[in-house]
Amino acid sequence: MALWAVAIGYTVCAAILTVNHHREQTVEHVEIAIIDPSERGALTDESRIREWLVADGVETIGAPIDSVDIGRIRRMITRNGFIDDAQIYVSHNGTLHIDVRERRPMMRLMVDGYNLYITEERFVFSAPEQSAHYTPVVTGDYRPLFGSTFEGDIETFIDSLRRASDERVKQIGREKNALYKREDSLRLIRRDIRDSRVKKGLFERSSDFRARSDRHKAERKRNLRYYDGLLRDTGRAIDAVTARQDAERERMRGVERRHNDFLRLVAFAEWLREDDFWGAEIVQIVAGTTSYGTLDLTLIPRSGEFKILLGELDEPERKLNRLMRFYRNGLNHTGWNRYKTINLRYENQVVCTE
């Protein structure tokens, strides 16, 4: 029991001393580290983070340790989309540590109005000013699904589009349910009209019965025509709603095709970046769309003054392997400045134009 009392007393004293130390100790230094920086360049640096601290009015040097708002500093740093995470803590000697981990871009999208980086995890963020990070650059008139100011995870974005589309289809479907109920009601009324009969009265004369029966038949015929018209109108309304649902589904299929094209473009840029030769040889990817709406690529090489017409992203590695053979066996003999374009769109061919 005595040992427990000593241990508890020691713990309480240590806690009191720590609190007093934090109250009395001030921040003496600020150490900022970019954790695991990429060999391809940096998106930010220590001086820029110090500028953020000053601009945000964060108290650092000279401030008591227990007054440092670590949560505020972290939020201030990570609100920049190119920052993946930030760990902030104050050591016992009064040093404020800020360890920043950047996102790792693997493609830069610089089509008209866009200046965005895309990471391997398919996260998109705006390129920071004065950033120097070597990645494949995509230019041209290509337009992704997301806007030029978008920041976030691509799959999350696409999932939101899918959910919104599914909800639109359901909303339209609710209109169809009301029309189906109306159609069922009209069919029941029509059936009752069709099956209606006139009964002869016990003392009714035959001539009177025939006259009344003829009037009933004529009225039944008119009513059947009327309800047939209502049923046709309802059927057309159902078809129109179905067409709207089909149009929304087709629109979403188009979205999925464009999304798949974008993923293929990112995968191609990723492959280029990892390939020692082509990563250095291809300095720009010019992306456009064909008349069918599919992605169409032209590559700008470092060697020569020609353009490489890659076309659609079907087996791009095979196409570039074909080009490599032409580099070795063709251009080395004919000269690197002879052609204006080298076309790889055709199966097993390399077509050049002067």
Q: What is the pLDDT of residue 38?
A: 65
Residue 12 has pLDDT above 70, yes or no: no
Q: What is the pLDDT of residue 123?
A: 94
Mean pLDDT of the 231-248 span: 96
Residue 351 has pLDDT above 90, yes or no: no
Q: What is the pLDDT of residue 3?
A: 52
Residue 140 and residue 261: Cα distance in Å, rounded? 15
Q: What is the pLDDT of residue 23?
A: 55
Instruction: Pick the closest to residue 353 from 315, 328, 345 (CA basis).
Output: 345
Residue 106 CB contacts under 8 Å (≥ 6 apart), including other chains: 118, 119, 120, 135, 136, 266, 269, 270, 273
- In terms of residues, how long is the chain? 354
Q: What is the pLDDT of residue 8?
A: 52
Q: What is the pLDDT of residue 291?
A: 79
Least confident segment among 7-21, 172-186, 327-341 = 7-21
Give the model confidence (pLDDT) of 143-183 as tens digits.
Answer: 999 999 999 999 999 999 999 999 999 999 999 999 999 99
3-state secondary structure of 153: strand
Mean pLDDT of the 230-246 span: 95
- Burial class (CB within 10 angstroms; exposed 0-12, middle 13-18, buried 19+) of 192: exposed
> Cα angle at 294 between 293 and 299, to 5 degrees?
125
Dihedral, CA of residue 150, residue 152, residue 154 and residue 158, to nearest 10: -80
Contact 322, 344 (CB under 8 A): yes
**Residue found under tokens 């000269």:** 335
Q: What is the pLDDT of residue 149?
A: 92
For residue 66, the 8-state DSSP code is: G
Q: What is the pLDDT of residue 6?
A: 44
Q: What is the pLDDT of residue 117?
A: 92
Task: Retrieve residue 309's tokens.
Answer: 């017409």
Mean pLDDT of the 248-259 span: 95
Residue 37 has pLDDT above 70, yes or no: no
pTM score of the predicted model: 0.77
Residue 11 has pLDDT above 50, yes or no: no
Residue 95 and residue 50: Cα distance in Å, rounded? 14
Residue 121 and residue 269: Cα distance in Å, rounded? 13
- The fraction of the chain above a pLDDT of 90, given in percent, is 45
Identify which has the larger pLDDT, 89 or 9: 89
Give the model confidence (pLDDT) of 266-276 as tens digits.
Answer: 999 999 988 98
Mean pLDDT of the 224-249 span: 95
Give the model confidence (pLDDT) of 115-133 as tens digits.
Answer: 999 998 999 999 887 666 7
- pLDDT mean across residues, the chain: 86
Per-residue CA distances from 200 to 207, 208, 212, 217, 221 (Å): 11, 9, 9, 14, 20
Give the model confidence (pLDDT) of 54-106 as tens digits.
Answer: 888 888 888 888 888 888 989 998 888 888 899 998 888 888 899 998 888 88
Residue 109 and residue 122: Cα distance in Å, rounded? 13
Mean pLDDT of the 198-214 span: 87
User: Which residue blocks in 116-205 are alpha helix, DSSP H?
Assistant: 154-195
**Residue found under tokens 């009301």:** 178
Q: What is the pLDDT of residue 215?
A: 93
At 284, give phi and psi (nearest 5°).
-160, 140
Residue 181 and residue 238: Cα distance in Å, rounded? 11
Residue 213 and residue 264: Cα distance in Å, rounded? 74
Residue 18 has pLDDT above 80, yes or no: no
Residue 16 has pLDDT above 80, yes or no: no
